[in-house]
Structure 1
Amino acid sequence: MTTTDTPTDPIDVASRRHFFKRAAALSGAASLAAFAPLRLSAAEAWPAFDETADLVVIGTGAAGSAAAARASELGLSVIVLEKLRTTGGSTAVCNGGFAICGTDLQKAAGIDDSPELFEKELLAMGKVNDPELVRTYVTACLPVYEWAKSLGVEFGAPTTGAGMSVPRQHMTKTSQMLKVFQDLARSKGAVFHLNTAAERLVTNAAGRVVGVTARSGKKTRTYGAKRGVVIAAGGWARGEDLLRRFSPAAEKALKLGGLGNTGDGSKMAWALGADLLDVSYTKATYGFNPKTKTSAFVMYQGAVIVNKEGLRFADESRPYKELGEIVMTQPDGIGYQVYDAAVHEEAQKDPLAKTDRLKAAGELHSADTLEALAEKIGVPPKALAETVAAYNRGIVSGADAFGRSSLSAGGGKPLPIERPPFYAFAATACLLSTYCGPKIDAHARVRTVFDEPIPGLFAAGEGTGGFHGAAYMSGTSVGKAVIFGKIAAESVAAEKA
């Protein structure tokens, strides 16, 4: 790993001082202007960076870690910058689902899936998503799964989730996956700088991205990138300014995303003219208990969702992002998941629907009658009993009042809620990720508003736009991060130093 490369062209002392003076001055600016690129004159075409590598990666979540691992595997020298004192970003706090089709685990479970079905459902979910990115994902997911598995990443049996008609969400332990990627990168010489917040992209006179300025404590340091920079800095679930600008409705939701996710990477790319996609589709995820801040998606096993008046307000099979948007219009943003013993038994088999933590915290309520359950959760007993009775009639007759005909995305058949004991818990919407940002192409190159690639700049992960579109399928966030992180590294490797 090279850390102190001598510039190709000698830079005199005055130029070097000028470079650092400008970097330090810019790093203290506010708002979007604070992320404006540091543009070099022809005389500064290759300044004396503090450290230089083939690739500089910004962020250590699934996207950044996968990019660092793959680039190191390909023989590139790598510098990784992490804003926080620990690695992982949003990946470290997510459930770890990775949507993949055609795996050995699916086949062992007798699950019939295909890239064509996967692609069809992603496009149906996203509505406005980029078909090229979707096609790239569905064709690359199996080879990337095999690659990750060969490195030691562990995958669990596939389960179902929002937007999929067959189980294809393979559960991972994110801490284990991140460790595998990061250990590989370090073993090949990659250098990780923690507590180091990227603040500027450095471009040369021709407009090519050639480095990054970053702040560590009170010091500004510069990192040169001979072949490219990969932005993998996450979204802006903690970025109040960007939430207010693009999706004010999400401001009211719980916020549990990575603490460093304030949109820094998106702003840096935006300042270079990057197009921003899907920013108007940011939605919080329904299914999180307001007190424990843990999730359970029992609605996809057959639960109904009622508000504080004991009334249903949506088709429970809809994607949890859409449900999150709807629940925020209900009193106090609460939707109780209500179900019976039969649904409860199935939910305990699904790691995304299990309610153990809710029960341990006293947030899972049960009773032998719906009226008694209503008393426990504080909704009108008569209204809840009538709501469930009407739901049962609709399910049996095939004419549900809200159009529900499946458990999720056309898969599974909902059954009447009638076998005691009955269960309920409060759930609201939580903003974990924003799933939008700079436009990328199938090679993970960042593209401008004129659909031109920005030379030397690549991006992957949550903070990219175009793939998800208007809604999100379970497991495609981690999947997108790993897949396009790997692709970004391979694209950088193809660049000339």
Structure 2
Amino acid sequence: MHAKDLTRRTLFKRTAAVSAMAGFMPLVADAKDAAAFDVETDVVVIGTGAAGSSAAARAAELGLKVVVLEKMRVAGGSTAVCNGGFCICGTDLQEKAGIKDSPELFERELLAMGKVNDPALVRTFVTKCLDTYHWAKGLGVEFGAPTTGAGMSVPRQHMTKTSQMLGVFHDLIRAKGGEIRMNTAARRLITDADGKVIGVEAAAGKKALRIRAKKGVVIAAGGWARSEDLLRRFTPAAEKALKLGGLGNTGDGTKMAWALGADLLDVSYTKATYGFNPKTQTSAFVMYNGAVIVNKKGERFADESRPYKELGELVMQEPDGIGYQVYDAAIHAEAQKDPLAKTDYLKKNGELFEADTLEALAGKIGVPADALVRTVKAYNEGLAKGADAFGRTSLSAGGGKPQPITKAPFYAFAATACLLSTYCGPKIDTEARVVNIFGEVIPGLWAAGEGTGGFHGAAYMSGTSVGKAVIFGKIAAESIAKA
């Protein structure tokens, strides 16, 4: 068959046949047959994390009837367990702190981080983030002072309390007549004979439920950090990392979109995040305040200013996947001011080690004392000469100046890589519409959040996951409203 003979309907049928092997073959129904559906609404949103919640809240605010599906008994997905950073530039909080930032700088740094990310999605993010901030703040979402993180040269990560943010969105959904159905798992997308998405088949316990979406469906079901089959298929190296993402993140949304021929982006770039203590399973990123990272031999193996996804990939190649963060009293004092680097919890649980000398510290963490002393000495000398052995010249992404590690007491804690999120999946355009492998929009289908591809690319800037979720969730709702 020639390419010109491959009609949309023929392609849909072929895709459906292949998808049946994975159990996610789309169902075909007549949208005019009311008896084919149990519930009818304007928009169905799959997932209650930041993406799904913002999409549903905005859709409800725009007067659309919304049904939100959540397969777990607790809402929030990965958003509920993340640190809540939200990257935004040009805020009043940045101005108050005297931080000079701009959409142009933000865009350059996102493209430099991602390397293969979609410039159009990046441009959409940086030009929409401030408006989204004002919208969310106007609804009652609380934002804290901006802090720094991986990939940014200036502080632009505004901290939120995710439970508070999700609560604001969920209250708005219900206040506008929307419905959030817990313990209700989306199973398959329902299409008409032309391949347009017109609804969702779900399961509430053992009860099957078919919901018609007159305006559209938004997939915001998270990634697949808890899916052994997808990790093994696309990024087997990540299987060895800690797993702390949302328990429901098993790739359901990706599979449903994939079944309709959605293009999948960034799947080969899934990496675990470095900085999590293996015993407490909590994070502290003191390396971005000046700590060095050493392996069990007491040796450095990376430029500590690199993105924590890249550091996560590197640490998994070291003995037992462990990289100790080592630093001194001056760095410790600065880190305690940073909500992403504070070590109070580690200390409370006996995982932060302190000593008056590097030799004594080495004994406490179980690395060779002579090697640790030699490593720190070489690091300090390299900084003085402006020629660090691993090329470190900043604290993170060109911002901040590393300082020598000289002032007692000295500190250290063990850290490894943790897979919180996968940051990849169906390709979307600037209106959050899902795009197939041929670059065509799949009618009736939108997506937002962690389980979408194209925005992050090869690496991840701190605070852009929650930001991406809220921004593109809002965009999806606005796109549906005008469709």
Report TM bin, short chain. over 0.9
Aligned residue number for residue 34 of structure 1? 23
- Aligned equivalents of 2:28, 2:265: Cα separation in 1: 25
- Contact 1:315–1:402, Cα closer than 8 Å, also in 2: yes
Q: Which amino acid aligns with 1:420?
A: A
Which of the numbers 317, 335, 340 marks the counterpart of 2:328? 340
Aligned residue number for residue 390 of structure 1? 378
Confirm or deny that 1:409 pairs with 2:397: yes
- 1:142 is paired with a residue whose SS is helix
- Aligned equivalents of 2:164, 2:21: Cα separation in 1: 35
- Aligned equivalents of 1:361, 1:49: Cα separation in 2: 53
* Compared CA separation, residues 44 and 150, structure 1 to 2 (3 A): closer
Aligned residue number for residue 486 of structure 1? 474
- Aligned equivalents of 2:482, 2:135: Cα separation in 1: 19
Which of the numbers 192, 195, 210 marks the counterpart of 2:183? 195
- Contact 1:232–1:463, Cα closer than 8 Å, also in 2: yes
Confirm or deny that 1:239 pairs with 2:227: yes
- Aligned equivalents of 1:223, 1:421: Cα separation in 2: 62
Q: Which amino acid aligns with 2:426?
A: P
Q: What pairs with 1:312-461 in structure 2 (closer than 5 Å)? A: 312-461=300-449
* Compared CA separation, residues 46 and 443, structure 1 to 2 (3 A): farther
Confirm or deny that 1:179 pairs with 2:152: no
Which of the numbers 122, 129, 135 marks the counterpart of 1:141? 129
> Higher mean Cα deviation, 211-220 or 358-367?
211-220
Confirm or deny that 1:169 pairs with 2:161: no
> 1:270 offset after TM fit, Å?
0.2
Confirm or deny that 1:130 pairs with 2:118: yes
> 1:33 offset after TM fit, Å?
2.6
Give every structure 1 segment of 4 or more consecutive aligned residues whose post-TM-superposition deviation is greater than 6 Å.
none
Aligned residue number for residue 211 of structure 1? 199
Q: Which amino acid aligns with 2:25?
A: A
- 1:155 is paired with a residue whose SS is coil
Aligned residue number for residue 10 of structure 2? none
Which of the numbers 95, 114, 128 marks the counterpart of 2:102? 114
Q: Which amino acid aligns with 1:88?
A: G
* Compared CA separation, residues 43 and 404, structure 1 to 2 (3 A): closer
- Aligned equivalents of 1:359, 1:80: Cα separation in 2: 41
> 1:43 offset after TM fit, Å?
8.7
> 1:49 offset after TM fit, Å?
1.1
Which of the numbers 128, 134, 141 marks the counterpart of 1:153? 141
Aligned residue number for residue 9 of structure 2? none
Per-residue deviation, residues 85-143 of structure 1 (Å, max 9, x unmatched): 01100000000000000000000000000000000000000000000000000000000
> 1:306 offset after TM fit, Å?
0.1
Aligned residue number for residue 263 of structure 1? 251
Per-residue deviation, residues 366-398 of structure 1 (Å, max 9, x unmatched): 000000000000000000000000000001110
- Aligned equivalents of 1:434, 1:138: Cα separation in 2: 21
Give the TM-score of the pair, scaled to structure 1. Answer: 0.93
Per-residue deviation, residues 30-64 of structure 1 (Å, max 9, x unmatched): 98631110023x69766531111100000000000
Q: What pairs with 1:21-60 in structure 2 (closer than 5 Å)? A: 33-40=22-29, 47-60=35-48
- Aligned equivalents of 2:36, 2:71: Cα separation in 1: 23
Aligned residue number for residue 295 of structure 1? 283
Per-residue deviation, residues 229-267 of structure 1 (Å, max 9, x unmatched): 000000000011000000000000000000000000000
> 1:217 offset after TM fit, Å?
1.0
Give the TM-score of the pair, scaled to structure 2. Answer: 0.95
* Compared CA separation, residues 114 and 43, structure 1 to 2 (3 A): closer
Q: Which amino acid aligns with 2:222?
A: G
Per-residue deviation, residues 188-228 of structure 1 (Å, max 9, x unmatched): 00011110110000000111100000111111111110000
- Contact 1:91–1:478, Cα closer than 8 Å, also in 2: yes
Q: What runs of 5+ residues in structure 1 fail to find an aligned partner?
A: 1-25
- 2:414 is paired with a residue whose SS is strand
> Higher mean Cα deviation, 215-224 or 378-387?
215-224
Confirm or deny that 1:92 pairs with 2:80: yes
* Compared CA separation, residues 31 and 292, structure 1 to 2 (3 A): farther
- Aligned equivalents of 1:359, 1:481: Cα separation in 2: 33
- Contact 2:48–2:220, Cα closer than 8 Å, also in 1: yes
Per-residue deviation, residues 273-316 of structure 1 (Å, max 9, x unmatched): 00000000000000000000000000000000000000000000
- 2:216 is paired with a residue whose SS is strand
Cα RMSD of the aligned pairs, angstroms, is: 1.3
Q: Which amino acid aligns with 2:310?
A: E
- Aligned equivalents of 1:479, 1:37: Cα separation in 2: 31
- Aligned equivalents of 1:363, 1:43: Cα separation in 2: 58
Which of the numbers 253, 257, 265 marks the counterpart of 1:277? 265
- Contact 2:287–2:305, Cα closer than 8 Å, also in 1: yes
Identical amino acids, percent of aligned pairs: 78
- Aligned equivalents of 2:25, 2:144: Cα separation in 1: 43
- Aligned equivalents of 2:21, 2:112: Cα separation in 1: 34
- 2:415 is paired with a residue whose SS is strand
- Contact 1:56–1:79, Cα closer than 8 Å, also in 2: yes
Q: Which amino acid aligns with 1:34?
A: G
- Aligned equivalents of 2:307, 2:349: Cα separation in 1: 27
Which of the numbers 49, 63, 86 marks the counterpart of 2:51? 63
Confirm or deny that 1:252 pairs with 2:232: no
- Aligned equivalents of 1:207, 1:50: Cα separation in 2: 21
- Contact 2:31–2:198, Cα closer than 8 Å, also in 1: no
Q: What pairs with 1:73-88 in structure 2 (closer than 5 Å)? A: 73-88=61-76
Confirm or deny that 1:473 pairs with 2:464: no
- Aligned equivalents of 1:150, 1:47: Cα separation in 2: 41
